[in-house]
Amino acid sequence: MNISWIRSPKRKLSLPDWLSLYRIIVAPFLLILIFVDARVLFSTLLLISFLTDALDGFLARRMNIVTQRGSQFDSIGDAITFTVGLIGIIWFENAFVMEQAGLLIFAFSFYILQLFIAYWKYGMPSSFHTYLAKTSAVFQAVFMLWLFFIGVEYWLFYLTIILSILETVEEIILILIFPKWKSDVKGLFWVLAKKERKVLRENNIQKS
């Protein structure tokens, strides 16, 4: 895995980087809270992690400091937070997990496949941050927090599963399209539209 962008001494950590790192650093404490059955404290810290996820990307764009390192910290923090949240669901909501095990495994398999393809092609996780990925992340966070604080809401669960699968499929297609690692892509529609416009321009040049 290429981690030279992490080791570079010339680049100081920005506030968005620290917010992303918070999610990575707090993950072991969240795991401890799961195994000691501290559901309320776990849910509260998970809520804070999801809030930092929403804040770091906004600040990076607002402060005009979007970097490869920041995108990678954000993606790693997202993946770790999602995984810890999933472990929390398995631990605290075991009956619900057993009821929906087949659907959960099916959806999660797409995520594992996407990670495998990204590491195979780029040597690191992808960080496209598409509109669909952001939407899916919001619904994942809302569903998990709703589940921990209020209880099961099935329509929200099924919608979250659908969005998660669609997002990972889009991510896989984008990985196959882009030969090199790239961040902040709006989505597959915009990529294909851009390619179509490029083809039309080339055809017009050839005709003229």
Report the pLDDT value the prediction gives residue 66, as an integer from 0 to 100. 60
Tens-digit pLDDT profile for residues 43-100: 999 999 988 877 776 676 676 666 666 677 777 888 899 899 999 999 999 999 999 9
The amino acid that residue 168 corresponds to is T
Higher pLDDT, 2 or 67: 67
Q: What is the pTM of this model?
A: 0.80
Cβ neighbours for 25, distance < 8 A, ≥ 6 positions apart: none
Q: Coil, strand or helix: which one is 87?
A: helix
Tell me the C-alpha distance between 208 and 114, whole Å: 43
Does 203 score more than 90 pLDDT? no
Which residue's structure tokens are 């329509």? 155
Residue 204 has pLDDT above 80, yes or no: no
The answer to whether residues 185 and 174 touch, using CB atoms and an 8 Å cutoff, is yes
| Structural domains of the chain, with CATH | 10-207 (1.20.120)
